[in-house]
Each structure stands twice: as C-alpha cells, then as structure tokens.
Copies of this chain bind each other. A is one copy, B any other.
Amino acid sequence: MILPLFFIFCLFSSSHAAVQDFCVGDLAAPQGPAGYSCKDPSKVTVNDFVFSGLGIPGNTSNLIKAAVTPAFAAQFPGVNGLGISFARLDLAPGGVVPFHTHPGGSEILIVVQGTIYAGFVSSANTVYLKSLKKGDIMVFPQGLLHFQINAGGSVALAFVSFSSPSPGLQILDYALFGNNLPTELVAATTFLDTAQIQKLKGVLGGTG
C-alpha cells in the first residue's frame, strides 16, 4: 500500500537508468565526444562493473622490462562516463616506463611492491622527482611528461588510476620513432641527430 510513490519512481527510473546512474559502454555502437553509447540498462549485470584482468602480472620479458595492463573504457566498459579508469604496472628489475603523457587525464600511482623512482616535468620546466616505496602514492597532473623506473633490485608492482575513462597514452619514443614520421622531420622538430633518430627507428620499428 506504500507503493504509489515508489511505483511512480520505479516506472520512470527503470526506463532510463543508464542516463541517471551509469552508462556501460556499448563498444559496437556510435561514440560521441563524451564517450561510448550506453548498453541497454536491462542487459547490464554486475559483471559489467567488475574487471578481472589486473590480477595477472603483465609480461615484462622485453627490452624495457615493463608491462602496462589497462582497464580503460575500451577494456572495461563499466567506467564509461564515470570519470575514472585504472591500470596495472609491472616493472621487472631494471624496468622502465619511458617518458609519456596522458592527454586526457591526471594519474595517481600507488606502489604495492618494490621501489619506483618517478618524476614529471611541468610547463614551467620544473622537474619533480621522487623515490617511492611500498604504500606511497604520487599524482601526475594531466598532460605532463612523466616516467617510472624500478629503483630496486626486485620486481615492482604498482596500480594507477586516472581521472578519465579514456585518458589516452602518448609514449614519447613511440611517437617520435615508432611510426612513419620522416627522419628529416624528426630532426628538424627535435634537434636530435639523424643517426640517433635512425638508430631508434630501427629499435622501434619506425620507417621514413
């Protein structure tokens, strides 16, 4: 008998729940500037809000001895529209995440195992460097160049969170040397020597 009030709300709530509370991304539907289209809320289950891929160490058997496993909206559609995403960072001894930016969001990193040396450079060209031990967190403001290095002799593990479901990632070396940017153009816009550029293009699979 208490239903009338609740009934009214129940009716309209169930018909547009996705807009109100969440908007699980439908990766196959059109995207817009604010993110993916919403999955039909009647088909959303708790599994849309849970992502299990971060429990497994990434494969660090590579030159940089590092692996990043993202849970951005493209991998974890439950965060679409919610202003947040997550990732796992594995760093073997000697591992490094080279200079990179996230054009779309700020980042907080927490060290869960090992020691990580991290830093960023501001627009004012000031350098902020710190050795982070287990339990330390560091924030990297949106869009600024930053890096992380395993500063100890053992494996390091960190989790990172972003202020956007799709923060983007632009790795400096990859942007300069891992595509078809002509060597001459890279030289002109970075002042690096041609030989240096060609050497790294060779390593990273770049052409031109």
Residues of A within 8 A of B (CB): 1-6, 8-10, 12-23, 26-27, 29-38, 41, 45-47, 49-52, 54-56, 58-64, 66-76, 78-86, 88, 96-99, 101-108, 110, 112, 119-130, 132-145, 147, 149, 159, 161-176, 178-181, 185, 188-193, 196, 199-200, 203-205
Known: A10-B125, A41-B124. A33 touches B169 (CB 8 A): no
Contact B19 A166 (CB under 8 A): yes
Known: A139-B82, A147-B189. A21 touches B122 (CB 8 A): yes
Contact B193 A170 (CB under 8 A): no
Known: A31-B18, A123-B13, A193-B196. A168 touches B139 (CB 8 A): no
Copy tally for this chain in the complex stands at 6
- The contact of A141 among B47, B82, B123, B167, by CB within 8 Å, is B82
Contact B2 A139 (CB under 8 A): no
Known: A8-B70, A99-B189. A37 touches B46 (CB 8 A): no
A selection of 13 A-B contacts at a CB cut-off of 8 Å is A13-B123, A20-B103, A21-B141, A30-B37, A33-B34, A82-B163, A83-B164, A84-B105, A84-B107, A103-B123, A104-B142, A112-B159, A173-B191
